[in-house]
Amino acid sequence: MSSRKKVLFITSNAHKVQEIQELVAAESRAITIEHLDYNCPELQLDTVEEVARESATYIRDRIAIKQPFFLEDSGLHIPALNGFPGPFSAFVFRTIGNEGILRLMAGQTGEDRTATFKTAVAYCESRTATPLLFVGTVKGRIAETARGTNGFGYDPLFEFRGKTFAEMSREEKNKRSHRSRAFMKFLTHIT
């Protein structure tokens, strides 16, 4: 009988932990996701891939973690705003929130409201490993108003096939989201 592999998810966002744990359970993977509540310094880099890779390297080099670990960085990219907020999504959300994004999008219609959510998962197998990246994206649009009570962050604004992520159950969101797409690639790799 094989034992379950234990992997540490480093994040200060409990919502992300719930999503990945439910995804692992739904996929019946032989893995246990443990959580370390740690707020990595917010690196200001050009892409979510760079932020995830450099954050994993920072943790690998500075914290005595004795087991495989991963973290992730996500960004909302809006072409009408030249890709903003992109890798600065967490800071922008804390600063202007969903209401600020809606103000910036005032007057934009149709194709001008397209958006892409992207997640990069960075995984370190050991203290000497180079972080491996797993990227997931989903294309949608920015809704005209915030809708829904589920989810977190930009979920009430990001519309996919007529529903915002905040209007979806976590199970429904996990079947469609950028984060689940990146995590599925990661889970396939480690299991």
CB 34 within 8 A of CB 10: no
- Which phi and psi (to 5°) does residue 78 adopt? -115, 110
Exposed / middle / buried, residue 72 (Cβ in 10 Å: 0-12, 13-18, 19+): buried
Residues tagged active-site = 73
- Which phi and psi (to 5°) does residue 42 adopt? -80, 105
- Nearest Cα neighbor of 190 from 30, 28, 14, 83 is 30
Residue 169 structure tokens: 């159950």
Distances (CA, A) of 133 to 41, 52, 123: 19, 8, 7
- Nearest Cα neighbor of 175 from 144, 143, 120, 136 is 136
